[in-house]
Amino acid sequence: MYENMVLGIANEAMYTILLVSAPVLGAALITGLLISILQATTQLQEMTLVFVPKIIIVFLVIIVCGPWMLNIVTSFTHDLLASIPTMVTI
Task: Kindly indicate the confidence band of residue 30, based on its pLDDT and cuts at 50, 70 and 90.
Answer: very high
Measured distance CA(67)–CA(20) in Å, rounded? 11
Query: Around 86, how many Cα atoms within 13 Å sit in the side-chain half-sphere?
Result: 7
Q: What is the pTM of this model?
A: 0.78
**Residue 85, pLDDT score:** 85
**Residue 62, pLDDT score:** 96
Given a cut of 70, whether residue 10 has pLDDT beyond it is yes
